[in-house]
Structure 1
């Protein structure tokens, strides 16, 4: 059963989690099929190259990032989006402080355990 507190999520009511030097995340909302996560980077923060079976799309809310997907690298800025099909290696380096908004399908169970 879905309750009202799961339909409306207030950013200020959710905690940040440190996930590495200069990187923290906030799980905004999820159900078994979909997850939305904010990831805040300090300048120079690194999202190490990794891969997972989830499809991911990410929106650059603020800042500038060097994004690498399957060996190809681009610099993206606020308003840009990138798409990562399942199992492709990818990573991010914050060229300046900023926030990425990541969407995963299905949800990242490893983020909520």
Structure 2
């Protein structure tokens, strides 16, 4: 498995990968300690309830989302952020189509297919 990305990742050259119904992602850079991922949601799409051992922070670049983190529900929109501790159950529903920017530590090896 590659342990780091290219130095420069250009959106127009980086394919969107399916990540669920109405959800697609672009991996925007990583090494063993860190990963940045752009996630595009259509209105009504869901990020299903899940956990992982990674620390995650999410920035809402556009759109509006209902997020649940460890049972606490909040509506977030462009400019807002979310912190998700390791092993915290979390999910989201897209209220208005948008893009989330996820940062993971350590990197999500399960997202690297090549």
> TM-score band (shorter)?
over 0.9
Counterpart for residue 92 of structure 1: 92
TM-score (norm 2): 0.92
Q: Deviations over 1:56-103 (max 9, x none)?
A: 000000000001000000000000000001000001100010000000
Supply the distance in 2 between the matched residues of 1:41 and 1:79 (Cα, whole angstroms).
Answer: 16
Counterpart for residue 78 of structure 1: 78
Name the SS for the 1:48 alignment partner.
strand
Please tell me whether residue 34 in structure 1 is matched to residue 25 in structure 2.
Answer: no
For structure 2, the 5+ residue unaligned runs are none
Supply the distance in 2 between the matched residues of 1:9 and 1:109 (Cα, whole angstroms).
Answer: 18
Greater helix share, structure number: 1
RMSD: 1.0
TM-score (norm 1): 0.93
Q: Deviations over 1:27-61 (max 9, x none)?
A: 11110000000000000000001000000000000
For structure 1, the 5+ residue unaligned runs are none
Supply the distance in 2 between the matched residues of 1:25 and 1:6 (Cα, whole angstroms).
Answer: 17
Supply the distance in 2 between the matched residues of 1:7 and 1:14 (Cα, whole angstroms).
Answer: 13
